[in-house]
Chain A
Amino acid sequence: DIQMTQSPSTLSASVGDRVTITCRASQSVLGWLAWYQQKPGKAPKLLMYKTSHLESGVPSRFSGSGYGTEFTLTIYNLQPDDSATYYCQHYNGYPWTFGQGTKVEIK
């Protein structure tokens, strides 16, 4: 199985900052990677698919990049509403797996 590892596990940043979350795969997932945002008590929400394709309705402050085994999710101009846990997920072969999550806190 492909293992997905996110870093950092937690980050704290100020409104207006740029934050970057990294997701590493134990073997290549090509470009088949998605990112989700989850707020407490809510279902996850799709932000990005196929590495860098922004889901409809997601602010353009979110950006994804990478290929193969290393991927990043960047949030530009961090907003209070971005406080959440973010997960990456690969879908290059079964089983699909998620990273362990990165909690983003607003200072």
Chain B
Amino acid sequence: EVQLVESGGGLVQPGGSLRLSCASSGLSVSSNYMTWIRQAPGQGLEWVSLLYIDGSTYYGDSVKGRFTVSRDNSENTLFLQMNNLRPEDTAIYYCAKVIPLGAFDIWGQGTTVTV
């Protein structure tokens, strides 16, 4: 069974940092496009970042320069390093697998970040 499990969320002070993890089973993070999406409390969805198979990265405007997406192929895990956190970064953060070109077909259950 394919499964994505996020972890690393928590409470952090403004200006602080967190690193989120997305452990994958049944799915190779190095062989797929992987993404992070977030959802602020009671709000809609916001695309955060994308990691290409070739290592290229893309970010939403609100996190560019503060967040970094990466992966560990040996651990089959996707990461999101979040620096200089702001109260508006408070959200549930989901990792997801991307169908080539841009729809998200497999999602994790999410991890909550409170700033």
Q: Which residues of chain A have a CB within 8 Å of any CB of chain B? A: 1, 32, 34, 36, 38, 43-46, 49-50, 55, 87, 89, 91, 94-101
Is A96's CB under 8 angstroms from B101's CB? no
Is A43's CB under 8 angstroms from B47's CB? no
Listed by A's residue number, 29 A-B pairs whose Cβ atoms lie within 8 Å are: A1-B61, A32-B101, A32-B102, A34-B102, A34-B103, A34-B104, A38-B45, A44-B45, A44-B94, A46-B104, A49-B103, A55-B105, A87-B44, A89-B47, A89-B103, A89-B104, A91-B102, A91-B103, A94-B50, A94-B58, A95-B47, A95-B60, A96-B47, A96-B50, A97-B47, A98-B44, A99-B44, A100-B44, A101-B44
Which size bracket describes the interface of B in this complex?
20 to 34
The minimal Cβ–Cβ distance linking A46 to chain B, given in whole angstroms, is: 5
> Is B46 in the interface zone, CB < 8 Å from A?
yes
> Is B109 in the interface zone, CB < 8 Å from A?
yes
CB contacts under 8 Å to A, within B62-102, are: 94, 99, 101-102
Minimum-distance CB pairs A-B, first 9: A91-B102, A49-B103, A34-B103, A43-B107, A96-B47, A98-B45, A95-B60, A101-B44, A46-B105
**With a CB–CB cut-off of 8 A, which chain B residues contact A32?**
101-102
Q: Which residues of chain B have a CB within 8 Å of any CB of chain A? A: 37, 44-47, 50, 58-61, 94, 99, 101-105, 107-110
B47 touches which of A38, A46, A98, A101 (Cβ 8 Å): A98
Cα–Cα, bound, A96→B50 (Å): 10
Is A91's CB under 8 angstroms from B46's CB? no
Is A49's CB under 8 angstroms from B46's CB? no
Closest to B46 in A: A98
**With a CB–CB cut-off of 8 A, which chain B residues contact A1?**
61
The minimal Cβ–Cβ distance linking B86 to chain A, given in whole angstroms, is: 18
The minimal Cβ–Cβ distance linking A72 to chain B, given in whole angstroms, is: 17
Cα–Cα, bound, A91→B108 (Å): 20
B102 touches which of A44, A87, A96, A100 (Cβ 8 Å): A96
Cα–Cα, bound, A97→B102 (Å): 11
Cα–Cα, bound, A45→B28 (Å): 20
Cα–Cα, bound, A101→B47 (Å): 14
